[in-house]
Amino acid sequence: MRIPKLGEVKFRLTRPLGGRIKTAAIRRDAAGRWHVSFGVHTGRDAAPPNGQPPVGVDFGVKQAAYLSAETEPRLMPHTLTKGEQRRLAGLERRRERQIREAKRHCGGKYSNRLRRTLRAIAELKARQARRRADFTHKLTTDLAKSHGLVAIEDLRVKQMTRSARGTQSEPGVHVSQKAGLNRAVLDNAPGERRRQLAYKWPAYGSELILVPPARTSQTCGACNLWDPASRTTRDTFACTGCGHTDDADHNASVVILGRAFPDQAGAASAAGHCGVQHASTGQARPATPRTCTGSTREPLNPSSAVAQSLSDIEGYKESLQVTAGRMSKNKRVSGLPRDTPKLSA
């Protein structure tokens, strides 16, 4: 593989590419390992509808996912064992102590012991990320395969996980509690699950529908009544109008599925029939893969000899040259910024 400003670099091919190479993206994980991802054009069309039943999915914090068609939630296994959690906590305490001593006696220069500590922390973080990604891929693939329509909330994760620290003149309240909630939300990766569903559903004959997330946890799935008093506890939902009781997350998944079919659900986007105030749910919309206008990845030049020699095939055809896109200064191939301490191999 030929990389600008670096030349030809060997890499290990873990699976056949199966099509014409269009783009290549290079990234570096927390442990310092480099990976290259190829975007290929296979020439395949979207699969026909699979005829499976629809489902509403509520991505939570305590529970990874609750499906409207199931009675038990999907739980994500712990990304770190108890022993690994204790080791990570000890390594982080050691890191802070070593950094404090380096500032006090060495002018901030990192010692070899501190570099080894940073390397051990990075290995545990990378292992945690791999386990999280494995569960996410298995969950999204099963949802796309086993259901003809998947309805999820149109969440804005960036706004949800915004810090509550505030400013120096107007400091926030409950900052540590909000920080813990943000970590729990990001650990479940709702944005990554949505991204994977958006590109997997055409291949499995499914469909992804994004519904407005407003008040799904306070609306009854049986009568569509919105009342905050119905959410008696974190895990219990008891409707004040019709008396329907259910697990709060399962009830939310039923509401999400109903908002995907507003006509069949009795105009779920309007007020219900229980005679009290109801939530305005807006309109559900089909999910389409997002395109990033500021992407730094560049396709191969169609006029080049390499691009012309590659054809759309179902097997692997080795390319003579792959040109990766430009990378930012903070993630350039040549290394990290000079002011960042580098870890030795």
Q: Which helix (H) or strand (E) holds 151?
A: strand 149-153
Cα 235 to Cα 252: distance, rounded to the nearest angstrom: 11
Q: Which residues are catalytic?
A: 58, 153, 249
- The CA angle 184-187-193, to the nearest 5 degrees, is 125
Q: Are 205 and 50 in contact (CB under 8 A)?
A: yes
- Tell me how far apart the alpha carbons of residues 238 and 199 are, in angstroms, rounded to a whole number: 37
How far is residue 264's CA from residue 332's CA, in Å, rounded to a whole number? 52
Which tokens belong to 51?
A: 């005829």
CA proximity to 327, closest of 13, 31, 4, 2: 4
Report the alpha-carbon distance of residue 333 to residue 40 in Å, rounded: 22
Listed in sequence order, the DSSP H helices in 207-266 are 248-260
Q: Which residues, including other chains, have CB under 8 Å from residue 332's CB and lie 6 or more apart?
A: none
From 71, 259, 226, select the one nearest 154 (Cα to Cα). 259
Q: What one-character DSSP code corresponds to residue 276?
A: S
Least Cα distance to 312 among 23, 72, 3, 17 occurs for 17
Q: Which residue has the tokens 């050691």?
A: 94
Residues 6+ apart with CB under 8 A from 131: 77, 79, 80
CB 312 within 8 A of CB 42: yes
